[in-house]
Chain A
Amino acid sequence: MPDGPSSPTRLGDLERVVMETLWAHERGTLTVRAVHNELAADRDIAYTTVLTVLDRLAKKGMVLRERVGRSWEYRAAASRAELTAASMRHTMEDVDSGDRRAALMHFLDGASTDEVADLRAALAEVERRANPDA
């Protein structure tokens, strides 16, 4: 099923492309016109669509905007690395919070250093059972 122009997936994709454009400019600010120019280079996209996407991202707190002269300039609120680090910290530190544990299902809920020796022994036992002659 093709996505309509305003379907969430397509907007999500555009948000991603816009963020990537802003990230590529290392905290530099860009006008809507500049973002549009970069995006229009390899796709058919309206200026107002870019404006809408930037607006949505600003509402989500992903981009910051400031008035420069007569136009708005936009920049990423945080770099991709910062967001990734924060996200990893969140999902891994809050493993004890019941909500996050029920919302996201982790392959492993965490492990402590003093546990690793026991885990190694259990792994050796699995390997030994699978291959008794070795």
Chain B
Amino acid sequence: MIAAMPPLALVVLALLMGGVWPRLMARQTRFRYTPQAALLAWQAVSLGAIISALAAAPAAIPSFSGGRGLGDQWVLLALVCLVSGAVLISLLVSGHRVGTRLRALRDDHLALVDLIGADGQGRDRSVRVLEHPLPTAYCIPGRRSRVVLSQGTLEQLSTAELDAVLAHERAHLQARHDLLLEFFTVVHEAVPAPLRVPVALDEVRLLIEVLADRVAIREAGAVHTARALFAVAAGRAPDEVMSGGSAAGPRLQLMAGAHSTPWLTLLAYAFALASVLAPVALAVWPFTM
């Protein structure tokens, strides 16, 4: 009977890491002060959930080896195979769907801004400027990446604030934050809709923004970065209909309350390590018995 423990524990762990922990983690807002470590912890938990689910079926194999036969354990075998198989298929399907959709959206949008946008300062082709009075700034990640600004942004922001915006967007592009976000989106959509945790995806998205903000702060200073964020938010507010608050509030508050957090960082790294090691240990254990 003890041989049935690891595969079942892996299924439970997959449920915990896939559905329960993300809900709890999304509430730990103090980890926003250490975004790099926090994002690693998020990746580790997603990875841990995937490893647990995929390893459940192989971990059940030793229970049936040694000529003991299936006996009454076929229910267990069926369960773990179902879990592992379903997770594998939904991950592959989700990965394909999300990847195709995002690439199509980016390709279309890139073609459009290349047509309608003007070159950035100094005939910089990688920056597209849209002739529009509302301030906006975003980037199109990918092989041929672009930073898109509106004329409103150029007019309403000072040079230093503009530097902050550009540093923020280039941080996204250089660190390939899009791949990170794509990974989380794929995992998110691989889970059946009723079990998804949208707050987890929101938190991850915010952490990625905070990470890019930190680069902007390093290059342009906290004051200019904060002013840029405020200017873009204030310049657009009357034209936008949003039910909840935007991420601008938490991001500005983080800039106002920035302090070093070595213990939180350490905690996040330890948590990340444990999240990957636990399922691996459980998966290997049956083969050592």
Inter-subunit contact A110/B227 (CB<8 Å):
no
> Could you give, for residues 92-128 of chain A, a 1 whenever the CB lies within 8 Å of some chain B CB and a 0 otherwise?
1101101111111111111111011011101101110
9-residue interface stretch from B88-96, B250-258, B277-285: B250-258
Question: Which among A15, A106, A113, A125 is the interface contact of B256 at CB below 8 angstroms?
Answer: A125
Asked if A88 is an interface residue, CB under 8 A from chain B, the answer is: yes
Complex contact A87–B130 (CB within 8 A): yes
How far does the Cβ of B226 sit from chain A's closest Cβ, in whole Å? 4
Task: Look across to chain B and name the residue whose beta carbon is closest to the beta carbon of A104.
Answer: B138
**B223 cross-chain contacts in A, Cβ below 8 A:** 126-127, 130-131
In the assembled complex, A64 has its CB within 8 A of some CB on chain B: no
Contact A85:B236 (CB < 8 A) given known A104-B138, A104-B140, A107-B168: no
Q: Cβ of B50 < 8 Å from any Cβ of A? A: no
B7 to chain A, nearest CB (A): 34
Sort chain B's interface into a size bin.
Answer: 35 or more
- Provide the main secondary structure of the chain A interface: helix
Bound complex: CA A102 to CA B204 (Å): 12
Q: Which of B208, B221, B237 has the most CB of A within 10 A?
A: B237
A88-B136, A99-B101, A107-B168 given as contacts; is B245 within 8 A of A115 (CB)? yes
Give the Cβ gap from A30 to chain B, nearest Cβ, in Å: 17
Kindly name the residue among A60, A81, A108, A125 whose own CB sees the greatest number of chain B CB atoms within 10 A.
Answer: A108
Whether a CB of chain A sits under 8 angstroms from the CB of B234 is yes
Cβ of B233: which chain A residues have Cβ within 8 Å of it? 108, 111, 115-116, 119
| Interface membership of A29, Cβ < 8 A | no
Taking the closest CB of chain A, its distance from the CB of B87, in whole angstroms, is 21
CB-CB < 8 A to A92: which residues of B? 134, 136, 236, 239-240
Most chain A CB within 10 A, of B98, B172, B228, B245, is at: B245
Report the Cα distance A96→B244, complex, angstroms: 11
B248 touches A115 (CB 8 A): yes
Q: Report chain A residues within 8 Å CB of B130.
A: 84, 87-88
A60 B111 Cβ-Cβ under 8 A? yes
Which residue of the partner chain B has the closest CB to A101? B205
Residue in chain A with minimal CB distance to B229:
A108
Chain A, interface residues (CB within 8 Å), range? 35 or more
Determine whether the beta carbon of B181 is less than 8 Å from that of A80: no
Q: How far is the CA of A43 from the CA of B286 in the complex (A)?
A: 72
Q: Does B109 touch A at the CB level, under 8 Å?
A: yes
Name the distance in Å between A14's Cβ and chain B's nearest Cβ.
Answer: 11
Beta-carbon contact of B111 and A108 below 8 Å: no
Residues on the A chain within 8 Å of B131, using CB: 80-81, 84
Which residues 1-41 of A sit at the B interface, judged by CB distance below 8 A? 12, 15-16, 19
The verdict on A87 contacting B116 (CB below 8 Å), with A12-B111, A110-B246 known, is: yes
- The answer to whether A129 touches B256, judged by C-beta atoms less than 8 angstroms apart, is yes
| Inter-chain contact A87/B256, CB cutoff 8 Å | no
A45 in contact (CB, < 8 A) = no
Q: Check A112/B138 contact, CB under 8 A, given A88-B130, A99-B101.
A: no
Kindly list chain A residues whose C-beta atoms are within 8 Å of the C-beta of B37: none
Distance in angstroms from B230 CB to nearest chain A CB is: 5
Q: Is the CB of A127 within 8 A of B181?
A: no
Kindly list chain A residues whose C-beta atoms are within 8 Å of the C-beta of B139: 104-105
CB distance from A129 to the nearest CB of B (A): 6
Other than A102-B181, A105-B177, A125-B256, give 4 A-B pairs with Cβ distance below 8 A. A62-B115, A95-B242, A102-B185, A103-B102
22 CB-based A-B contacts, threshold 8 Å: A15-B114, A16-B114, A84-B116, A85-B132, A87-B109, A88-B130, A91-B136, A92-B240, A99-B101, A102-B98, A103-B140, A104-B140, A105-B138, A105-B169, A106-B138, A107-B165, A112-B241, A112-B246, A125-B256, A126-B222, A130-B222, A131-B223
